[in-house]
Amino acid sequence: MASLPSLTKPISQNPITRQTTTDHSHIGSKAVPCRTSLLRSGFLYSQPGSFRNTRTVRSSNQNEALVDSYIKTSDVPLLTCSEATERLKAHRENHKGKQEFLAMYSSIFGGITTDPSAMVIPIDDHMVHRGHGVFDTAAIMDGYLYELDQHLNRIIRSAAMAKINLPFDKEDIRSILIKTVSASKCRNGSLRYWLSAGPGDFQLSPSSHNKPALYAVVIQDQLPFDSKGVKVITSSVPMKPPQFATMKSVNYLPNVLSKLEAEENGAFVAIWLDEEGFIAEGPNMNVAFVTKDNELLMPHFDKILSGCTAKRVLTLAERLVSKGKLRGARVANVTVDEGKKASEMMLLGSGVLVRAVLYWDEQVIGDGREGPVTQALLNLLIEDMKSGPPSVLIPIPY
């Protein structure tokens, strides 16, 4: 999760410009000079059997292939355990992204490590080779876990739907997650955790080894929080059928392809429509609309992921209703026509929080600016993350 701004900072009221909308098309389209990447990657140092790094980067029109490979010029060496560990460490050092991994719990080694090179999952884990795993998240905000219990309930529901037994009972999982964040010393970031059918073999059915696993990682995000309005498109990648869309499994290929489609079209994300043509959700967020008569509408959660953020926003929106700033807030079937004619459209999720949509396909939403309800809901959510009730804020004992 990106670090948040101070609460009172209002989101921009500037109308969207072409510049803003094309921002997202830059992702994945920059050429990285080979020499720079070689130096940065550190693979110029002399390893036994040196590596040659070749890197070209895919342009948005996909004319060039994206290759980031280390081609060995001599035989593939047989490594001892310590040599392999050293190389894993070197790889981690040389491939630091914008996120830092501070601590990992694994039920496989039955503890917590803060060494990123040890943050690995067995290759025979059913989640790795068959996608038989579910996951969830929770934001870490000023030393508190936000909506941990809501996310925990959801992963347990997802695990039941995926026929994954729990390796521990709910209270123990909760306690392990809190201890992992505590060991990480992270005060602002995010927690991600997985329940998996576990390792054992490479069969399709995990029934010959019933050893479910729990993994958790604490991530320090370096990205600045961005609340600028974005452009979305309608996804041409089919959405998951309700049985799979309502559980948070690790099978995110449709979500990834839908996000890539958006990036290739200069948009932030692509929005799915369900099989009846109603508005569904984005690849990792829910959507909501403010109608012309000032009502907050969210698609029903029966065919999409039941978003913790969206549900919390529905509750927080009642404060705007009681102040007369909204006429009401409810879930409903929302048609594309209603959505595109709305005065405001927003994305809702643990990553984006509340983010205005200013364009959908070629349609300007409302007056093309971040609207007052979107802004008010973002401020309410940030306030809730900083000083909400004990039901949503769990203190971390450092």
Ligand X SMILES: Cc1ncc(COP(=O)(O)O)c(C=O)c1O
The strand ranges marked E within the chain are 51-56, 67-72, 99-106, 111-113, 133-141, 144-146, 189-196, 213-221, 230-234, 269-271, 286-290, 295-299, 328-332, 344-349, 353-360, 363-364, 393-395
Distance in Å, CB of 244 to ligand X, minimum? 10
Choice between 271 and 285, CB closer to ligand X = 285
Annotated active-site residue in 98, 231, 240, 248: 248
Choice between 53 and 268, CB closer to ligand X = 268
Distance in Å, CB of 286 to ligand X, minimum? 5
Task: Using alpha carbons, select from 8, 14, 11, 15 the residue that is nearest to residue 372.
Answer: 11
Strands 51-56 and 67-72: antiparallel
Distance in Å, CB of 195 to ligand X, minimum? 16
DSSP summary character for residue 147? S
Distance in Å, CB of 135 to ligand X, minimum? 9
Task: Using alpha carbons, select from 207, 24, 193 the residue that is nearest to residue 121.
Answer: 193
Concerning whether 30 is annotated as a catalytic residue, the answer is no
Choice between 305 and 334, CB closer to ligand X = 305
Distance in Å, CB of 309 to ligand X, minimum? 3
Distance in Å, CB of 248 to ligand X, minimum? 6
Residues that bind ligand X (CB under 6 A): 281, 284-286, 305, 307-310, 349-350
Residue 155: count of CB within 10 angstroms of its CB: 25
Choice between 103 and 310, CB closer to ligand X = 310
Cα 140 from Cα 219, distance rounded (Å): 9
Cα 175 from Cα 156, distance rounded (Å): 15
Structure tokens at 42: 């550190």
Task: Note whether 158 and 230 are within 8 A (CB).
Answer: no
Choice between 119 and 271, CB closer to ligand X = 271
| Residue 131 CB-density burial (10 A; 0-12 exposed, 13-18 middle, 19+ buried) | middle
Q: What length does the chain have?
A: 398
Choice between 220 and 350, CB closer to ligand X = 350
Residues with active-site annotation: 248
